[in-house]
């Protein structure tokens, strides 16, 4: 069976977004240490949010820095192959990793964009800000007919 691409071949994938107090850039191996520190400092908080409450990630036990690097390499490969798009959420002022945004096709509905995001517990005030900006960005700049992005924490 032929599979339709997640995004059209002629679609130029945005390389970022600047919002109120944050900016997005494609997640990659260069973010490994900061990404690992960000999510491991906030496992309980991330697991309590709507996007991750019913998921196995992040594991309470965490993961090694080497395993995190492999995960980031997989996300970067997905981005390059246009299979899914993961962005790091950086604080606008300091450029610190404060979260992550995932845009992937639905497992059962590959033409549906399933979106999840998290922010560090100590930056939880950005959660709604990021969600609102990303929802508008997806509607204005991306070719998805259907987007599933849970609202609220």
Q: Which residue has the tokens 């610190």?
A: 96
In a domain, 4, yes or no: no
Whether residue 52 is contained in a domain is answered as: yes
**pLDDT tens track, the chain, 153 positions:** 446 689 999 999 999 999 999 999 999 999 999 999 999 999 899 989 888 887 777 777 778 999 999 999 999 999 999 999 999 999 988 889 999 999 999 888 877 899 999 999 999 999 999 999 999 999 999 999 899 986 544
Domain count, the chain: 1
Q: Number of C-alpha atoms within 13 angstroms, CB side, residue 91?
A: 14
Burial annotation 99-127 (CB, 10 A radius, 16+ → b, else e):
bbbbbbbeeeeeebbbbbbbbbbebbebb
Q: How much is the pLDDT for 91? A: 94
Q: Give me the CATH number covering residue 138.
A: 3.40.630.30
pLDDT given for residue 4 in this prediction: 66
Q: What does the alpha-carbon distance between residue 137 and residue 132 come to, in Å, rounded to a whole number?
A: 9
């Amino acid at each position: 069976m032929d599979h339709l691409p997640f995004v059209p071949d002629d679609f130029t994938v945005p390389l970022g977004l600047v919002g109120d107090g944050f900016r997005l850039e494609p997640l990659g191996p260069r973010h490994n240490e900061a990404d690992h520190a960000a999510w491991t400092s906030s496992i309980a908080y991330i697991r309590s949010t709507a996007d991750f409450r019913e998921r196995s990630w992040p594991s309470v036990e965490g993961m090694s820095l080497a395993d995190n690097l492999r995960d980031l390499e997989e996300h970067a490969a997905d981005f390059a192959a246009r299979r899914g798009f993961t962005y790091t959420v950086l604080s606008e002022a300091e450029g610190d990793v404060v979260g992550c945004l995932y845009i992937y096709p639905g497992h059962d509905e590959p033409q549906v964009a399933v979106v999840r995001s998290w922010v560090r517990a100590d930056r939880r005030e950005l959660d709604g800000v990021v969600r609102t900006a990303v929802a508008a960005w997806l509607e204005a700049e991306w070719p998805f007919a259907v987007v599933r992005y849970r609202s609220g924490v």
